[in-house]
Chain A
Amino acid sequence: MQVDSSLTGPFPRSEALVRATRDLDRGRTSAEEVGRLYRSTATELARLEQTHHLAPATGGYLRWADLFRPFAEGWSGFEVGPVTRWYETNTFYRQPILHAPPDRSAGALGGWFPAAEAGIEAATAKAILPGPYTFATMIDNRSGETTEALIHRIGRLLAAEVAELRTTGYLNFQFQEPSLVVHPPAPTAGESTIAAYRAIAETLGTAPSYVWSFFGDAAPVLPLLRRLPAQGVGVDLAETEVRDLAGHPAGRGLGLGVLDPRTTLLENPADIARQVHAACEAAGVDRVQIGPGGPLDLLPWESAVRKLPLLNGAQTALRNGGGRS
């Protein structure tokens, strides 16, 4: 069994960065000083990712206020809207308000991707973007466009972003799709989602890509997830039962969210190994990618850092024959 591991979303800001960004809000420090701290923290995280064999690396996406903010600020048609609950968490995002069909301009988002700041070669980094279904359904759409049309349009715009990121060296892509499992799409929206990913896939070519679901049970939408033209799909094992992974298509990658960002309680690597083994048996696969089940920025920095070695610990346990019940 081959098990790779990688982070799957934004990492929390360090306590120093928390203080600095607060101070910046209060006019007690300079943007330059905070920028310096962003760079050093992203570099530190990249080093931790390397130490714990987490590849591709992410750099933490520390500057992103939320999953949509770079797009709400960088694409046309949007206004950054009210503070809105981020799924079933005690965190919030500013819900973008879409007043007109969105559009993009070249170079508007490049600075938001953290590889360069973290000192990671883009080719070994992972570009994490919102998935088109989650994007289209988590905003306040006042553009007059139907949800279905908007999903498809956002897919085409994301495809253009992917193309631009590829020119800067990015090879690995992940699309965040919590809404697919938290608010499963109606059949028409599901077909639009497939069409959106088809547009993205045309740009991706053979570049590795994962659609990562979290915050919900993937079982009811596995048939749709498996139809998406991506190299793999990720599911959150704190929400999804491994027995439901049966029938995974041959040749399609499987991602397993095995670290729970809802608790600081450290998972036991042996328990993770057992879950991974059971999931592989159920799905009939011998290669998986493991990572956090959701974004680790629900934890404080130190608690998130303490979870990083567990992925490698589980890999070691599996290599040593652990995980078989």
Chain B
Amino acid sequence: MSESKLFRTQEIGSLARPLWQLQGQRHTPLSPAARKEFLGWNQQLGFAPVEDATVGHFLSNGGTDVSGAQVRDWGAAFALRFLESAGLDRVYDGEARRVEMYEHAVRQMQGFELLGHVRSFDSKYYLKGAITGEVGLGHPYDLEEFDFVRSHARATPKLPVTGPYTIADWSFNEYYLGRIPGWKGRTQRREAQREFVVDVARKAIRPTLAAMIDHGCRVIQIDEPAAGTHPDQAALVAEGFNVATEGLDAEFSMHICFSDYRSLFPALLEAKRCRQWAWEFANRDTEDHDAYAMLSLLREYGDTREVGLGVLDVHRDAIESPEVVQNRIERAAQVLGDPSRIWVNPDCGLRTRRLEVAYEKLTNMVEGARRARQAQTGAG
């Protein structure tokens, strides 16, 4: 796939797990619906060889007869083919092996204790932990996951890594805050948070990124969805990014979503090794509100980095048409004044959407990008 064409497309994060994967990982027999789902997607995507005896065992006996590792491999291969079949230029495995972006990361690190669920919104929750000792890392994580993707992907792999600021912000700070005696006001909280972020970046994430790069990883997305939570800490987001990537050579991007980006500027611009801002817009793009107009911010600050443009709302089932996608890309290109800086992606991971919905959204996104490209250059 050409990396020089306009409006290249990429995924951003996780996909919903297919039913057959969930049942397989639970070591239960496949329900008729799960079996039908496996066969239907496999016919379309060809992620598992049906002539293979293991596949036959799985279809007959589900997870009772096949290892969890094998089921996860199929889950990863399924997501790769799913994204490639939709036409994306940069892909990953839908985070098929990860429980969730925060929990997965802190389970690899030392010093954390998972405490219980906190509501994100409605009936969506995440398992939240506390740092109860100094941050540490036994060994770099996700290397096997990346090796599998690299050896199976036909499009360019883009590795998602949860960023240090988000890991710290989404954790309760007991260890670093607890070292400060007496009442904990704003000043004490801030001091403790900086220590926490820098320790996560230096002691856990940087060694992992270095190992990934040694394994051939070239494109890395550092996810910092928490960056917009405390706008006055944007400098700390940038510091964490810089510490995590210090001395490393790869194509780094930073994904932030559901935030007022304006409030992060100019401090965020200090993330020196960040080549692309991958942001959410579609969720707030309505008939009477042009969400892409805020890209003028980058022009105001003379920032010429790439933009990963969110054009799919990941919280609603309504399918964006190719025309809507094309229109969003063209509005963004006009504001930026340079279409070559635009990558096209969903606002965030599509995990909250059913696979059929996600697939239709993605194929429309690719088609919308193609039409925008054709309108710009005459080439599809």
CA distance A274 to B181 in the complex (A): 13
Does B242 sit within 8 A of A, measured CB to CB?
A: no
Q: What are 25 pairs between A and B in contact, CB < 8 Å?
A: A12-B116, A12-B118, A21-B123, A22-B123, A66-B121, A85-B258, A90-B226, A91-B118, A92-B121, A94-B121, A142-B288, A263-B172, A263-B174, A263-B184, A263-B189, A264-B172, A265-B172, A275-B183, A298-B118, A299-B172, A300-B115, A300-B118, A301-B116, A301-B117, A303-B116
CA distance A85 to B288 in the complex (A): 20
Within B81-122, which residues are at the interface with A (CB < 8 Å)? 115-122
With contact pairs A92-B258, A300-B117 given, residues A83 and B283 touching in the complex (Cβ less than 8 Å): yes
B230 contact from A65, A88, A94, A298, Cβ within 8 A: A88
Q: Closest Cβ of chain A: how far from B341's Cβ, in Å? A: 26
Residues of A within 8 Å of B178, CB to CB, are 265
CA distance A217 to B186 in the complex (A): 9
Chain B 149-190 per-residue mask, 1 if CB under 8 angstroms from chain A, else 0: 000000000000000000001101110011000111110010
Closest 8 CB pairs of A and B: A300-B116, A92-B121, A21-B123, A264-B172, A18-B117, A265-B174, A88-B230, A263-B172
Does B26 sit within 8 A of A, measured CB to CB?
A: no
Contact between chains at B258 and A238 (CB < 8 Å): no
Contact between chains at B121 and A83 (CB < 8 Å): yes
Within B119-135, which residues are at the interface with A (CB < 8 Å)? 119-123, 125, 128, 130
With contact pairs A18-B125, A65-B122, A301-B116 given, residues A83 and B172 touching in the complex (Cβ less than 8 Å): no
A contact set with B: CB distance below 8 Å: 12-13, 15, 18, 21-22, 24-25, 65-66, 82-85, 88-94, 142, 217, 237-239, 241, 260, 262-265, 271, 274-275, 297-303
Q: Closest Cβ of chain A: how far from B194's Cβ, in Å? A: 15
Does B75 sit within 8 A of A, measured CB to CB?
A: no
Residues of B within 8 Å of A262, CB to CB, are 172, 189
Contact between chains at A271 and B121 (CB < 8 Å): no
Contact between chains at A85 and B183 (CB < 8 Å): no
The residue on B at minimum CB distance from A21 is B123
Residues of A within 8 Å of B182, CB to CB, are 271
B119 contact from A88, A91, A239, A264, Cβ within 8 A: A91
Does B305 sit within 8 A of A, measured CB to CB?
A: no
* Count of chain B residues with a beta carbon within 8 Å of a chain A beta carbon: 37
Does B62 sit within 8 A of A, measured CB to CB?
A: no
A94-B122, A263-B172 given; 16 more Cβ-contact pairs under 8 Å:
A12-B116, A12-B118, A82-B313, A83-B121, A85-B229, A90-B169, A90-B229, A92-B121, A238-B186, A263-B174, A263-B189, A264-B115, A264-B174, A265-B184, A297-B119, A299-B172
Residues of B within 8 Å of A265, CB to CB, are 130, 172-174, 177-178, 184
Contact between chains at A303 and B115 (CB < 8 Å): yes
With contact pairs A264-B174, A265-B174, A301-B116 given, residues A238 and B121 touching in the complex (Cβ less than 8 Å): no
Interface centre among A84, A88, A275, A302 (most CB of B within 10 A): A88
Residues of A within 8 Å of B174, CB to CB, are 263-265
CA distance A256 to B229 in the complex (A): 24
CA distance A91 to B121 in the complex (A): 6
CA distance A318 to B111 in the complex (A): 35
With contact pairs A22-B125, A142-B288, A238-B184 given, residues A13 and B169 touching in the complex (Cβ less than 8 Å): no
Q: Closest Cβ of chain B: how far from A46's Cβ, in Å? A: 20
CA distance A239 to B120 in the complex (A): 23
Q: Closest Cβ of chain A: how far from B257's Cβ, in Å? A: 10
The residue on A at minimum CB distance from B289 is A140
Residues of A within 8 Å of B177, CB to CB, are 263, 265
Residues of A within 8 Å of B262, CB to CB, are none
CA distance A112 to B374 in the complex (A): 53
Contact between chains at A260 and B184 (CB < 8 Å): yes
Q: Closest Cβ of chain A: how far from B347's Cβ, in Å? A: 10
Does B57 sit within 8 A of A, measured CB to CB?
A: no
Residues of B within 8 Å of A303, CB to CB, are 115-116, 172
Residues of B within 8 Å of A24, CB to CB, are 123
Interface centre among B116, B128, B184 (most CB of A within 10 A): B116
Contact between chains at A84 and B172 (CB < 8 Å): no
B121 contact from A65, A88, A275, A300, Cβ within 8 A: A65
Q: Closest Cβ of chain B: how far from A283's Cβ, in Å? A: 17
Residues of A within 8 Å of B169, CB to CB, are 90
Residues of A within 8 Å of B231, CB to CB, are 88
CA distance A84 to B64 in the complex (A): 42
Residues of A within 8 Å of B228, CB to CB, are 85
Residues of A within 8 Å of B123, CB to CB, are 21-22, 24-25, 65
The residue on A at minimum CB distance from B121 is A92
B116 contact from A84, A275, A302, Cβ within 8 A: A302
Residues of B within 8 Å of A217, CB to CB, are 186
CA distance A65 to B125 in the complex (A): 12
Interface centre among B115, B117, B259, B284 (most CB of A within 10 A): B117
The residue on B at minimum CB distance from A274 is B183
Does B5 sit within 8 A of A, measured CB to CB?
A: no
With contact pairs A18-B125, A265-B178, A300-B128 given, residues A90 and B183 touching in the complex (Cβ less than 8 Å): no
The residue on B at minimum CB distance from A93 is B121
Within B214-235, which residues are at the interface with A (CB < 8 Å)? 226, 228-231
Does B139 sit within 8 A of A, measured CB to CB?
A: no
CA distance A24 to B228 in the complex (A): 31
